Amino acid sequence: MALHLVRLAGAGDRARARARARARTRARARGSRRRAAHGAPVLRSRSRPMNASPPHPRPEGRPLFGAERMAALSDGVFSIAATLLVLDVRLPAGADEFRWAQLPAVAPHLLGYVISFLVIARMWIAQHRLLQPVERLDARALWLGLLFLMLVAFVPFPTSVLAEHGNRDAVVLYAMTIVALSLLLSAFGAYVARHPEWLREGEGGAYRREGFRPWAVPAVFALSIPIAWLDPDWAMAFWLLLVPLGLALRR
């Protein structure tokens, strides 16, 4: 009987403790509502582990990517394209040994190799200068860069056609490829220049000035297309204007 009374007393104490806890919770809730009604700040405590890192801010707008990935891919594509150019330079079919007299037959392939290698080198230098101050790129800039690299990898084909045939259509195909290549690079530079927040601090003005240089290459090759309809040889000779024009733009 005594043990039963002790248990009842303990149960009553626990019930009263729970009632007091609920009363305090309701009192705090009513106080918070009154402070909120009068414009006072409501303080809320949230438990978080001591070793938990602060929440990362959500990115605004389109996701950004590191520009170093584009630079690494570009180096690989350029190196492969430049290597493929020389594969088309070979001795005439049926030649058992090398003779100096065979060089005239190889000359068109050597000329095509030299021209395309210099063009690819110029494009690589221009793209390297455009990417050097860039830290981040969005998806649109990446796709512009990827389309540019796709045409870089395509250059060995019109080079081979130009060396093998050298007629009007071959010259036009080659010139149109270089024009498209240059325009894509210029579009990439112009697009990135519109986002100075992607560049390292203090690089915006220099970047905009550098972006105009690739226009010299498409201008020369575009003007050579109508010349090719008159004389393909004169059109290819017109490409030599890139040498003095490039020197003038460096000043």
pLDDT in tens, 96-150: 677 777 777 788 888 889 989 988 998 998 898 888 888 889 999 999 999 999 9
- Provide the whole-model pTM: 0.69
The predicted structure's pLDDT at residue 80 = 95
The predicted structure's pLDDT at residue 81 = 95
The predicted structure's pLDDT at residue 33 = 58
Non-local CB neighbours of 240 within 8 Å, separated by 6+ positions: none
Q: What is the DSSP letter of 149?
A: H
The predicted structure's pLDDT at residue 249 = 65
Per-residue model confidence as pLDDT tens for the chain (251 residues): 444 444 544 555 565 666 666 666 666 666 555 655 555 454 444 444 444 434 333 345 566 788 888 999 999 999 999 999 988 887 777 666 777 777 777 888 888 899 899 889 989 988 988 888 888 899 999 999 999 999 999 999 999 999 888 899 999 999 999 999 999 998 998 898 888 888 887 655 555 555 545 577 888 999 999 999 999 999 998 988 887 877 776 65
Measure the CA–CA gap between 174 and 225, rounded to whole angstroms. Answer: 9
Q: Which of 111, 152, 117 is nearest to 237 (CA)?
A: 111
Please say whether the beta carbons of 28 and 20 come within 8 A: no
Measure the CA–CA gap between 214 and 119, rounded to whole angstroms. Answer: 11
The predicted structure's pLDDT at residue 23 = 65
Please say whether the beta carbons of 144 and 218 come within 8 A: no
HSE of 121 in the Cβ direction (CA atoms, 13 Å)?
9
The predicted structure's pLDDT at residue 3 = 41
